């Protein structure tokens, strides 16, 4: 049996899924280098009226905003794969919760949407060549009180870096 190199290959699917998870980690741990590593150097992104430009430019744009927040949490789910002539396309659902504080109040902005990503393999790594974000809905929720304070870190001092390396 010949090995598959397309969207039906479990190894390819896992490599792409891992890249999506690394993107979320980069956003939440404010790790620009990890964020850059998910996008091809010549990648483009389209977030509608929010941002259109390069993958690298988007990482810089978002992390600049995230640094001003109390914390963020991104999750990916429902990943669908399709093989195209130019590589692989995925649709992945994303939910991001961004916590901010202002004037003594704390707010969560909960965003739900989908990433339509075009992937290409370069030097054995699957990279996003183009991302089109589709915004589905959002909500702003005032947080009355947290049950626990976070004990992770929003940088490479987070215990997950030592555990996974």
What is the 3-state composition of the chain as percent helix, strand, coil, each rounded to the nearest 5? 25, 45, 25
Q: Which residues of the chain have pLDDT under 70?
A: 1-5
- Indicate the fold that domain 10-146 takes in CATH: Nuclear Transport Factor 2; Chain: A, (3.10.450)
Query: Do 3 and 20 touch, CB atoms closer than 8 A?
Result: no
> How far is 81 from 8, CA to CA, in rounded Å?
8
Give residue 53's Cα distance to chain centre: 16
- Residue-wise pLDDT for 54-72, tens only, equals 999 999 999 999 999 999 9
Model pLDDT, residue 2: 38
Model pLDDT, residue 163: 82
Model pLDDT, residue 159: 80
> How far is 147 from 156, CA to CA, in rounded Å?
25
Model pLDDT, residue 5: 56
**Length reported for the chain:** 165
What are the extents of the domains in the chain?
10-146
């Amino acid at each position: 049996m010949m090995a598959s190199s397309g969207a039906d290959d479990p190894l390819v699917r896992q490599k792409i899924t891992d890249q999506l998870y690394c993107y979320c980690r980069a956003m939440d741990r404010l790790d620009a280098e990890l964020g850059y590593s998910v996008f091809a150097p010549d990648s483009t992104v389209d977030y509608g009226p929010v941002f259109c430009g390069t993958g690298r430019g988007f990482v810089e744009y978002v992390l600049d905003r995230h640094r001003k927040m109390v914390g963020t949490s991104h999750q990916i789910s429902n990943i669908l794969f399709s093989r195209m002539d130019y590589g692989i396309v995925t649709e992945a659902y994303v939910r991001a919760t961004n916590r901010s504080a202002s004037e003594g109040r704390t707010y969560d902005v909960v965003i739900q949407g989908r990433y339509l990503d075009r992937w290409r393999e370069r030097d054995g790594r699957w990279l996003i060549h183009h991302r089109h974000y589709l915004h589905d809905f959002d909500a702003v929720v005032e947080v009355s009180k947290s049950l626990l304070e976070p004990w992770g870190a929003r940088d490479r001092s987070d215990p997950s870096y030592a555990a996974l390396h």
